[in-house]
Amino acid sequence: MGRLSQLFRNDSGISSPVGVLMMVILVIALAAIIGSIVFGHVNLFPKSAYIPVETQVKNTTSGFSYISVFHRNGDAAYLNLSGKNEGMPVYFQFTTPSGGTVRPLPDPSDGPETWSPGDTLFVYVNKTNGVWVTKNETRVAQDGLSLPQGEWKFDVVSKIDDVLIYTTKLGVGVLIQYTITASAGTNGNVTPAGVTTVNYGSTPTYAITPNSGYHVVNVLVNGTSVGVVTSYSFPSVTADKTISATFAVNTYTITASAGANGAVTPAGVSPVNYGATPTYAITPNPGYHVVNVLVNGTSVGAVTSYNFPSVTADKTISATFAINTYTITASAGANGAVTPAGVTPVNYGATPTYAITPNPGYHVVNVLVNGTSVGAVTSYNFPSVTADKTISATFALNPTITNINPNSRPWYQFDRTVIITGTGFIGATSVTFDGTNVAYTVDSAGQITTTAPFRFILFATTVNVVITTPGGGTATGTYTYTW
């Protein structure tokens, strides 16, 4: 106030009456402006209203037509320009069937025509005063005349900036029709298909149907998604509409799992499309085999490959495995043993050792593994077993020499016959005199006939006579060369 007072002081520093009067007027003006802003008479920041509207042509019992205008939600509005009002100022405008324009005015008997969310206003032809707007539907029947027949265009316009808020067409006594254009992507359809003509205000329902094994991805109504629906009902149709749908193949999962010592491939969780027929491999580790394969919990046997039929749901496949087992069959001839004896199961990769044991007084003649001789061994270690095996052994009595006749000769005699008696001579493989092989004849298990070889000596000498039998059995005697 100090600054305002200074504006109206005279040079002597004393306020003039005129200055005081002007300051009072200025204060009153400012207060009026602030009050108008606070109480809604002045809008410093005008904007267009947001008013979703529903319109309908109605008929009285006496048969004449009028229009209802429903404010669904959004901004409050008012229709007159005077009086105290709250909300956005708007006006209604009709384009008549003949092309003229009419702006209905609020019915004077209703007072200021505020139009808040949830309010319905009624537009009718007053008997004496043109086209009016009222909240009182009973006044329509009392004072109204029918709107002329034909197609009316109805607009709601903001008074602030003449921006069109809402527009529609209405048929008074005539049928107004629109089109709904339906389209579908591949693998499905929208019905009714194509372009369908519908009446004003109708609420047609459309079916969105995917092909077998497919599903709806999205449905667009007038370019805006309404979600993954299989049916859509249009609300009251007041304009041309579109509906479209897209579809995609159903996908499922096959979950594969394997026990120890093997694999099922593809492993883990695999996505598959509807109708696919994937093949799975069931592979045991080396030395193992498939015990069982379960598909969706049901055995399909000890298979190494499984082909799913047409997939229409999630699936599972699992497999179990076990180590391969083989047999070693051991047998022994008379007078000895092979242990472990008989048929012994062994696991893949095992390296068992077998003992070949002759009875006392006997020796191993030969050992056969899978029919092939490995010699006169007393122990055999199988290498890593990967198949069934056999092992067998034969035995013979150890040879003995009980007599050599004659058991001596002069050194200068040539080729003197010698008879050797004893046991275990059958199959003898050699006879030696002091390491020298000589010819011999096995007469029986207890006799061999041979010849003592010539030997030059300077004095009497005794040498060993050795008989060798299969398997390395030996018997030793002595023979003397004299002077």
**Number of domain units in the chain:** 6
Asked if residue 363 belongs to a domain, the reply is yes
Same domain, 164 and 185: no
Same domain, 62 and 165: yes
CATH of residue 420: 2.60.40.10
Torsion, CA 397, CA 399, CA 401, CA 405, rounded to 10: 100
- What integer pLDDT is reported at residue 42 of this predicted model? 42
- What integer pLDDT is reported at residue 159 of this predicted model? 83
Asked if residue 390 belongs to a domain, the reply is yes
Asked if residue 274 belongs to a domain, the reply is yes
Which structure tokens are listed for 57? 């042509």
Render each residue's pLDDT in the chain as its tens digit; 483 residues: 333 233 233 444 444 555 556 665 666 656 555 544 444 444 443 455 678 888 888 877 666 788 888 988 888 887 765 545 567 788 888 887 778 888 887 777 775 567 888 888 888 887 776 788 888 888 787 777 777 777 888 898 888 888 888 888 887 765 668 899 999 999 999 999 999 999 877 899 999 999 999 999 999 999 999 999 999 999 988 789 999 999 999 999 999 999 999 999 999 999 999 999 999 999 999 999 999 999 999 999 999 999 999 999 999 999 999 999 999 999 999 999 999 999 999 999 999 999 999 999 899 999 999 999 999 999 999 999 999 999 999 999 899 999 999 999 887 777 789 999 999 998 899 999 999 999 999 999 999 999 998 888 888 899 999 999 988 889 999 999 998
Which structure tokens are listed for 56? 């309908």
Cα–Cα distance measured from residue 307 to residue 330, given in angstroms and rounded to the nearest whole number = 43
Asked if residue 184 belongs to a domain, the reply is yes
User: Residue 157 half-sphere exposure, CB side, CA atoms within 13 Å?
Assistant: 14
Asked if residue 47 belongs to a domain, the reply is no
Range of 33's domain? Answer: 2-38
Sign of CA dihedral 21, 24, 28, 34: positive
- What integer pLDDT is reported at residue 62 of this predicted model? 65
pTM recorded for the entire structure: 0.56
Asked if residue 81 belongs to a domain, the reply is yes
3-state secondary structure of 23: helix
Asked if residue 262 belongs to a domain, the reply is yes
- What integer pLDDT is reported at residue 201 of this predicted model? 77
